[in-house]
Structure 1
Amino acid sequence: MGELRRPFLLLALLAVALVVGLELGAALLTGGGDAGGALRDSAGQLGVELDDVGRVAQPSGRGTGHLALIDVVALWTTGLFCLSLVVPERVQGRVQGAATLVFSIVLLIVSVVLLIVAFVELTVMVSLFLAAPFGTLAYLVVWGFFPVGDAGVLLGLVLLLKLVWAGLLLLAQPRFVQNKGLVLLALTTLLCTVVLEFLHRLVPVILVSITDDLGALVFAVVAVVWALVLLIGSIPAIVKAVKA
């Protein structure tokens, strides 16, 4: 493939690591704001008068966090590229297949579990929202006031870092563009980020938690697909290592 430019490759690893870190920390970086006033207004529109609603916090959502299920594949792939800088090719060939097999199995299990959790939560959300007025109020208390602005800022930063990651990979080795799997992975993660932002802007704010959870559900499915791709792709490398 040609010589890798180490500084750009290491910077690409840093960029995608920041992406995964931001996505995993989304629950801490977004949500938590006071939504009591908005809840009283919404309750009034439903014909229910609320005197003291106490502390009602904005939800953080699952969508951004579930993006990490996909981006951890990008992190893993970039890490393997970096590993080739310090590990002899023969040794890497023997270790990479087994390590990727373990990684893909773990990713598959985690993705399936989070897929089930997102599906159950989405079902509860929709059921409560449609059970007016008190079910709807219960929905509003827990999920009704998604921090669209904060999530948009975070997703914008994540998208920028992903573009930086892709650009740095090309600077590290222009022939990476010939790697169809890597290109497909980059397009997948960029598209999913844009789709999540679109889902956040598609509906009124009281419904954003539902579309956000729908996005999380889709991302978990995408992660399952990528986990299976890695799992299947690791088998030839393992067989080759065993025969060597």
Structure 2
Amino acid sequence: MDRLRAPFFWLAGFVLLVALLVECASAFVLDAVHQAGLEASTPGLGIRYLPVLDGLLLYTVLLMGLGILLSRSVIGRVQGIVTLVIAFFGLLGAIVMALAALGLLILMITLLVAVPFGTIAYFVAFADFPTGAATATLGLILILKIAFCILLILAHERFLQNKGIVILSAVSVGATLLLAFLIDFPPGFLASITDAIGALIIAIVGAIWLLILLIGSLLAMISAVRTVRV
């Protein structure tokens, strides 16, 4: 029972990768549609912001996988600097994404309450939110994330004792559920606003997590340097 069931672990990583690709593809496909000159409703920001959290989760799983394949000494040499770089640039990206979501949210609310012409402009630009497509995509993503959690537990029960991956997995699943609720619950013409709220929350949570990761990696590197000097 103490041995890692490797097939379940690698399958869990693959399922999480598929979920991440679905989130990214929702943006890439729509961009391709727009570049082709075709009509497409705005997809919102929420689904495209989920990779901020799921990318961190996949990176954590990747580190655990490398720990299985390589020795700890090899992993230790590169993990600190790689984590530091990812956390630094990821934090900058999350901040930019949060500001973008906040700006769009302010714009939409301003237009909505600026009766009558602003309201008309809002309905023309943002009221036609593809709620059905977004809900279906989020449903698929949620199923994949739940499958990831189950497979990870099947790989080894001790993963439940890893607080970092448990909390991050819970945050990822919770963010998906929250986004689905924010899109489905309000009237359809408000879905763009609530979707932007969800995107803003995801970006802020991701930024906080990346900041913690950045501080942790900095402290680890400082400790390693001091140890070498001693």
Within the candidate set 132, 136, 158, 2:115 is matched to: 132
1:130-158 CA-to-partner distances (Å, cap 9, x unmatched) read: 11222112112221111111111100000
CA drift at 1:30: 6.8
Specify the SS of the correspondent of 1:146.
coil
Q: Which deviates more, 113-122 or 166-175?
A: 166-175
Q: Which deviates more, 11-20 or 21-30?
A: 21-30
Match of 2:144 in 1: 161
Q: Scaled by the length of structure 2, what TM-score is found?
A: 0.90
Which letter does structure 1 place at the counterpart of 2:56?
A: V
CA contact (8 A) 2:44 2:195 kept: yes
Q: Does 1:25 align with 2:8?
A: no
> Compared with structure 1, are the counterparts of its residues 136 and 56 closer, same or farther at alpha carbon in structure 2 (3 Å cutoff)?
farther
Q: Scaled by the length of structure 1, what TM-score is found?
A: 0.85
Within the candidate set 187, 195, 200, 1:212 is matched to: 195
RMSD of aligned alpha carbons: 2.2
Distance in 2 (alpha carbons) for counterparts of 1:32 and 1:197: 25
CA drift at 1:4: 2.7
Specify the SS of the correspondent of 1:70.
helix
CA drift at 1:226: 0.7
Higher gyration radius (CA): 1
Aligned length: 223
CA drift at 1:225: 0.8
1:135-185 CA-to-partner distances (Å, cap 9, x unmatched) read: 112112221111111111100000011111111111222101011111111
Match of 1:107 in 2: 90
Q: 5+ unaligned residues in a row in structure 2: which ranges? A: none
Match of 1:38 in 2: none
> Compared with structure 1, are the counterparts of its residues 18 and 56 closer, same or farther at alpha carbon in structure 2 (3 Å cutoff)?
closer
Identity percentage of aligned residues? 39
The structure in which a higher percent of residues are helix is 2
Distance in 1 (alpha carbons) for counterparts of 2:205 and 2:69: 32
Match of 1:94 in 2: 77
Specify the SS of the correspondent of 1:25.
helix
CA contact (8 A) 2:84 2:214 kept: yes
Within the candidate set 151, 158, 172, 1:189 is matched to: 172
